[in-house]
Structure 1
Amino acid sequence: MKLKKYWTTGQTAIQRSSTAFLRDTNKLNKFKISFKNKFQSLQDLLKEETTMEENWKGIKETLTSTC
């Protein structure tokens, strides 16, 4: 069974415009900065989550060792 690509003219126009958008260096640099900022905030949340888990581990260990 062969799978066909069902591209509509709107989809190809969107694809072409997105590549043209990335060719403009100023827009590309702004896009990269915003992309990095989004991932940086996700990494910060992950770090915060791991430190919270480590803090709870320490609290639990302290409670179990004293009780």
Structure 2
Amino acid sequence: MILAPGFVARDTATVARELLGKVLISTAGDTVTGGRIVETGVHPGNGHTSQGRTGPRRRTPTGPDGKVKA
């Protein structure tokens, strides 16, 4: 099942719970990889970026909905 783009545009704790057990598949050229999601994390508004710390290491959690940090 492919998740709708709006799936991740909800409460982060709800999305984190519902992602558990889903299978993530990635394609790059002719290479296909995948795996089951067994752990998620929630980054509430009290993280580094809300304190103005927006260096390169911290950009992924504040990216567009659906961005994956692995």
- Give yes or no for TM over 0.5: no
**Between Structure 1 and Structure 2, whose CA radius of gyration is higher?**
1
Greater helix share, 1 or 2?
1
TM-score relative to the length of structure 2: 0.21
Higher relative contact order structure (alpha carbons within 8 Å, sequence separation ≥ 6): 2
Output the TM-score relative to the length of structure 1: 0.22
Which one has a larger percent strand, Structure 1 or Structure 2? Answer: 2
